[in-house]
Amino acid sequence: MSATKFRKAIASQLSRITSCPESQLLGLLGTPKTALNQQFNIPIPRLKSQRDSVQLSNELAHKFQPDSLIQEASAKGPFLHFSVRPTEYIRQTLLQVYNEQSNYGCHTADKSHIVVLDYSSPNIAKPFHAGHLRSTILGNFVKRIHQAMGYPVIGINYLGDWGKQYGLLAVGFEKYGDKALLEKDPIHHLYDVYVKINSDITEDVDRQANEYFRRMEEGDLTVLEQWKRFRDLSISSYKSIYKRLGIEFERYSGESETEPYIQPLYDLLQSKNLINKTADGAWTVDLSSYDLGSPVVRRADGTSLYLTRDLANLILRQSPKKSMYIVGTEQSLYMQQMFKIAELASLATNMHHVSFGRVQGMSTRKGTVVFLQDILDTAQEQMLKNLKENVTKYNELLTLGIQKGGQRLVGQEAANLVADQLGTSAVIVQDLFANRVKNYSFSYDRMTAARGYTGVYLQYTHARMCAIERKTNTQITTDCDFSLLKEKEAFELALAVSQFPDVVKSSYQSMEPCVVVQYLFKLAHTMGQANSTLRIKDVDPSLAEARMLLLWAARTTLANGLKLIGISPLERI
Ligand code: ARG
């Protein structure tokens, strides 16, 4: 890695003259700064020497010998600064991007255990609310960043697909169901039916619903067949909506699948002496010594709870070595309880709650009940409207079209696809912009703006670079004269590009997508500056070639970063 190579050069020489271990020094040299005159520094007090830090820093600056990678060491108070040789730094960075291409930024994991991710997880016949939206977008990021770090992952969509409400839904379907509507749009139709039957619930309806669910629990094939149909149709509808977001799950699971594991779970908890039977007959697990209360795992009437099913599901998941649950902050206590019981029962290890804050003001044209499809449709419509405002560009898009999976789309189809991808980019960036735990307010206007901190801006930056690549006759080659890249904008851009592998790592460590997102904005701004200074047209061909490689490397880095957050970069807008 380019930055690593330079860090190593500093650390190994410094280790020789200080007798400090190289690994410790490497740990102190962080991500390269984009500053022009000092890219790395070491705070001397961290070396824990007996000597005065300012004096030692001066002495080390004198002793340090410039070499083929490092140009200078200088002391500033107790800090030791290092500057790299710009041409060599640019060369190493661009060679790395060129060699690694779409893998640039990826790492290899030292351990290769499978990481199980539980995300999105909507409830059948209920709205897909803001929490599900965030879990979906964030979960996709969690998946991709694990992959970028070299871990194999299994993404599970743990559906809310079991419980008394299915009895109610079935009774409702008898009354209000429409087979054709069910086929056409199962998600909306089942929700409509559910709302209708809920509003005219009577004792009789309630009795029928309970009876129906009882038959489901007993494994009655006729009722299960209908339930399975509702579930299958909902899943296939979800699949096509997730596809717009570039999301695919390895598994569709759900609460329904846990039934066979409930009894084995009770047996396990009992064998571990974890069950307390309360006076009224309910079973609890005493977690008070962990400050987590005493959650119920079996009701007095013998039925299971949401918590029971989550725990039983761990048996089905074969006691995963690492799991991430992407669930809102309001469920923190619940998650802690579940993890603790799982740990005490040796059901799983290394469980993490990737939590997130609330979304305010999310609605669609149709009102406040929100479905994922409607959110994406509304964002797409808004983008289409925005695109049409620039008549020339829009007509160009219609005639020239875009490339999609080896195929060329033109006309309205191309415009719709571009608008859809811009719309999803807008939704994703709005969601991942700040720290996860922060709440944010949802705004179509703000998120679809072409300027500011939006996904649309990032897409435009990417597409503009692609246009430059298309229009020039300059080829992308590493066989160019790197010393021609003299301008400060070129050096700054290469430095920004070289930060990406470190950014991926630190975003993984904090599990904060905003680390990547904020980096992408900085990269895009630096690209903008470089683009206006480093002309490619009408300059000497060898200069054009060197500049082209630099811009291409920056564009490739931007594309890799966009993919990491779940956006597919557009080549033409
Ligand atoms: N279906 C749940 C809900 O809508 C989310 C499930 C989260 N995953 C889990 N294993 N508990 O709130």
Q: Please indicate, yes or no, if residue 172 is contained in any of the structural domains.
A: yes
- Please provide the size of the chain in residues: 573
- 8, 33, 126, 505: the catalytic one is 126
The mean pLDDT of 425-444, rounded to a whole number, is 97
Q: What are phi and psi of 258, to 5 degrees?
A: -85, -15
pLDDT above 80: residue 86: yes
Final residue in a domain of this structure, among 316, 336, 360? 360
pLDDT above 90: residue 547: yes
Ligand 1 atom with the smallest distance to the CA of 132 is 4
Ligand 1 atom with the smallest distance to the CA of 310 is 10
CATH number reported for the structural domain that contains residue 238 in this entry = 3.40.50.620
The confidence score (pLDDT) of residue 163 equals: 87
DSSP codes, 194-215: HHHHHHT--HHHHHHHHHHHHH
Q: Please indicate, yes or no, if residue 66 is contained in any of the structural domains.
A: yes
Q: Whose CA is nearest to atom 11 of ligand 1?
A: 310
The confidence score (pLDDT) of residue 164 equals: 86
Same-domain status, 162 and 284:
yes
pLDDT tens figures, 386-409? 999 999 999 999 999 998 888 999
Buried b (16+ CB within 10 A) or exposed e, 275-296: eeeeeeebbbbebeeeebeebb
Same-domain status, 77 and 132:
no
Same-domain status, 22 and 162:
no
Number of domains in the chain: 2
Same-domain status, 221 and 347:
yes
Q: Please indicate, yes or no, if residue 467 is contained in any of the structural domains.
A: no
CA of 168 to the centre of ligand 1 (A): 20
- Please state the pTM of the whole predicted model: 0.95
Same-domain status, 150 and 29:
no
Ordered alpha helix ranges (H), 219-321: 221-244, 259-271, 306-316
Q: Please indicate, yes or no, if residue 218 is contained in any of the structural domains.
A: yes
CB-based contact 323:116 (threshold 8 Å)? yes
pLDDT above 80: residue 488: yes
Q: Whose CA is nearest to atom 5 of ligand 1?
A: 121
Same-domain status, 204 and 345:
yes
Q: Is 353 considered catalytic here?
A: no
Ligand 1 atom with the smallest distance to the CA of 328 is 12
DSSP codes, 532-559: HHS--TTS-HHHHHHHHHHHHHHHHHHH
Q: Are strands 322-326 and 351-354 parallel, antiparallel or unpaired?
A: parallel
Residues 6+ apart with CB under 8 A from 81: 37, 38, 40, 41, 73, 74, 75
- 129, 143, 353, 462: the catalytic one is 129
Q: Is 129 considered catalytic here?
A: yes
pLDDT above 80: residue 367: no
CA of 461 to the centre of ligand 1 (A): 37
Locate the DSSP E strands across 358-476.
359-360, 402-404, 407-409, 440-441
Q: Are strands 40-43 and 70-76 parallel, antiparallel or unpaired?
A: unpaired
What is the CA angle 441-129-455, rounded to 5? 50
How is residue 268 written in tokens? 């396990």
The confidence score (pLDDT) of residue 19 equals: 85
Query: 100-114, 148-162, 300-314: lowest mean pLDDT where?
Result: 100-114
Give the pLDDT band of residue 110 (cuts 50, 70, 90): confident
Same-domain status, 270 and 149:
yes
The confidence score (pLDDT) of residue 511 equals: 98
Same-domain status, 12 and 160:
no
pLDDT above 90: residue 111: no
Q: Domain range spanning residue 256? A: 121-360
Same-domain status, 6 and 129:
no
Q: Please indicate, yes or no, if residue 547 is contained in any of the structural domains.
A: no
CA of 306 to the centre of ligand 1 (A): 9
DSSP codes, 358-371: -EES--BTTBS---
Same-domain status, 66 and 206:
no
CATH number reported for the structural domain that contains residue 14 in this entry = 3.30.1360.70
Q: Please indicate, yes or no, if residue 206 is contained in any of the structural domains.
A: yes
The confidence score (pLDDT) of residue 154 equals: 98
Percent of the chain with pLDDT over 90: 91
CA of 121 to the centre of ligand 1 (A): 5
Residues in the ligand 1 pocket, defined by CB under 6 Å = 118, 121, 123, 158, 160, 310, 325, 327
How is residue 85 written in tokens? 């040789």
Same-domain status, 66 and 161:
no
Percent of the chain with pLDDT over 70: 99
pLDDT above 90: residue 463: yes
Q: Please indicate, yes or no, if residue 513 is contained in any of the structural domains.
A: no
Final residue in a domain of this structure, among 360, 383, 415? 360
Q: Please indicate, yes or no, if residue 367 is contained in any of the structural domains.
A: no
Q: How far apart are CA 317 and CA 350, in angstroms?
A: 14
Same-domain status, 329 and 277:
yes
